[in-house]
């Protein structure tokens, strides 16, 4: 069940970097690069709700956040950035982004 309330956040100069290694000894990221011209980030919490009964009657209403839906809008996303994020091959260098 999605929450009816979502929050919009204005941002400046978003960046990204690729995850290159994630082991028990630590996490390693690649070079930090500019993402694109930002418009907004919209965050909507995903809720689980229910009723707790006890002693033959309703005791309380409970709710728990089970995750978030995040939408990141950019004005222009260059194809090179999209290809790198999606892990597509760079044909000019004939090797895969990773």
pLDDT in tens, 36-95: 888 888 888 898 999 989 988 999 998 899 999 988 888 888 888 888 888 875 555 555
> Could you tell me the pLDDT band of residue 33, with boundaries at 50, 70 and 90?
very high
Q: How far is CA 66 from CA 6, 44, 69, 71, in A?
A: 15, 11, 10, 17
The length of the chain in residues reads 98
């Amino acid at each position: 069940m999605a929450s009816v309330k979502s929050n919009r956040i204005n941002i400046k100069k978003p960046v990204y970097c690729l995850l290159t290694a994630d082991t028990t000894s630590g996490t390693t990221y690649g070079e930090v690069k500019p993402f694109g011209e930002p418009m907004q980030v919209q965050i909507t919490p995903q809720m689980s709700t229910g009723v707790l009964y006890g002693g033959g009657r309703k005791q309380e209403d409970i709710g728990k956040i089970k995750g978030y839906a995040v939408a990141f809008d950019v004005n222009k996303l260059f194809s090179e950035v999209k290809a790198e994020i999606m892990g597509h091959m760079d044909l000019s260098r004939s090797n895969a982004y990773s």
